[in-house]
């Protein structure tokens, strides 16, 4: 049990300071299908994510976590509700603008890494820069720097098949960071990794997330990584059940609460 029940999304550290809000969801709903097969997956989600924090999104399987982050990063449209990401009204953007918005402002880390198997580590990490129009050579040079930062300076020319899962995920993180996006979205980044690699990856992400101009949101099942969360958003059945700030609550977080 957390000792201080909090009102939804209230961060006692920065009560009035709205400028620090990276993502704000207001009464987001999402329905799939229509008629008889219609299911409401999100049932009015209110949530906020701040810059400079590691935010975790947790909850039982099928509760809508992936759906929510897909909406936040502009991969899915909400059925209803308002959504502001980095002060832009993403909910009202056209498909094209969303694509451009994603390519500039969002970095992705996937459970299955999704690296291109035929490209080397540095080439994979360079892709977001190439998408934004940078020349290959420049892009790869920049990617190499970032790979260095994630500790893969000696694996620049390796193909994904020559890397361990943890190393591949670090390449994916380098790819997610290479174009300096302000929002980093990670879905189960440690699910396919052993404990030690998962630890390394989470340390890396936390370090990134605590930079003051960045917001990181990590969807996870993995109770071993809960300790990294600055803000833990608990979801259940399409709703936010509660939000916990373990550092402020002063007690280590346990999912069972």
Ligand X SMILES: Nc1ncnc2c1ncn2[C@@H]1O[C@H](COP(=O)(O)OP(=O)(O)OP(=O)(O)O)[C@@H](O)[C@H]1O
Rg, the chain, Cα only: 18
Interaction between residue 66 and Mg ion (CB under 5 A): yes
3-state secondary structure of 92: helix
Number of residues engaging ligand X in binding (CB under 6 A): 12
Q: Which does 239 bind (CB under 5 to 8 A by kind): other proteins, ligand X, Mg ion, none?
A: none
Contacts (Cβ under 8 Å, ≥6 apart) of 39: 31, 32, 33
> DSSP string covering 204-227, please?
HHHHHHTSTT-EEEEE---GGGGG
Minimal distance in Å, beta carbon 95 to ligand X?
Answer: 17
Indicate the residue among 100 and 141 with the shorter CB distance to other proteins.
100
Binding site for other proteins (CB under 8 A): 66, 69-70, 73, 75-76, 96, 99-100, 102-104, 108, 110-112, 114-119, 123, 127-128, 130-132, 136, 187
Contacts (Cβ under 8 Å, ≥6 apart) of 108: 73, 172, 176, 184, 185, 186
Indicate the residue among 113 and 226 with the shorter CB distance to other proteins.
113
Indicate the residue among 55 and 167 with the shorter CB distance to ligand X.
55
Tell me which stretch binds ligand X (CB under 6 A): 64-72, 141-149, 170-178, 196-204.
Answer: 64-72
Indicate the residue among 112 and 148 with the shorter CB distance to ligand X.
112
Interaction between residue 66 and ligand X (CB under 6 A): yes
List the beta bridge partners of residue 215: 53, 183
Interaction between residue 200 and Mg ion (CB under 5 A): no
Q: What would the two tokens of residue 163 be? A: 């890397």
C-alpha neighbours within 13 Å on the C-beta side of residue 6: 21
Contacts (Cβ under 8 Å, ≥6 apart) of 101: 74, 85, 88, 90, 93
Q: Which does 4 bind (CB under 5 to 8 A by kind): ligand X, other proteins, Mg ion, none?
A: none
List of residues contacting ligand X (CB under 6 A):
32-33, 39, 41, 61-67, 221
């Amino acid at each position: 049990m957390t000792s201080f029940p909090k009102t939804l999304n209230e961060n006692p550290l920065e009560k009035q300071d709205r400028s620090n809000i990276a993502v704000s969801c207001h009464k987001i709903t999402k329905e799939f299908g229509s008629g008889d097969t219609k299911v409401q997956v999100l049932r009015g989600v209110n949530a906020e994510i701040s810059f400079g924090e590691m935010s975790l999104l947790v909850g039982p399987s099928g509760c809508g976590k992936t759906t929510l982050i897909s909406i936040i990063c502009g991969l899915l449209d909400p059925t209803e509700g308002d959504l502001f990401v980095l002060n832009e009204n993403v909910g009202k953007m056209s498909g094209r603008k969303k694509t451009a918005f994603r390519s500039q402002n969002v970095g992705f880390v996937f459970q299955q890494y999704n690296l291109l198997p035929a490209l080397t580590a540095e080439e994979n990490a360079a892709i977001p820069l190439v998408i934004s129009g940078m020349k290959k050579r420049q892009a790869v040079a920049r990617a190499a720097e970032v790979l260095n930062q994630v500790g893969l300076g000696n694996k620049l020319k390796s193909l994904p098949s020559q890397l361990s899962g943890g190393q591949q995920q670090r390449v994916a993180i380098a790819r997610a960071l290479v174009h300096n996006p302000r929002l980093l979205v990670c879905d189960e980044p440690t699910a396919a990794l052993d404990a030690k690699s998962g630890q390394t990856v989470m340390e890396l992400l936390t370090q990134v997330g605590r930079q003051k101009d960045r917001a990181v949101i990590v969807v996870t099942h993995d109770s071993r990584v809960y300790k990294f969360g600055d803000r833990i958003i608990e979801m259940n059945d399409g709703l936010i059940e509660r939000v916990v700030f373990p550092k402020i609550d002063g007690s280590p977080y346990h999912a069972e609460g």
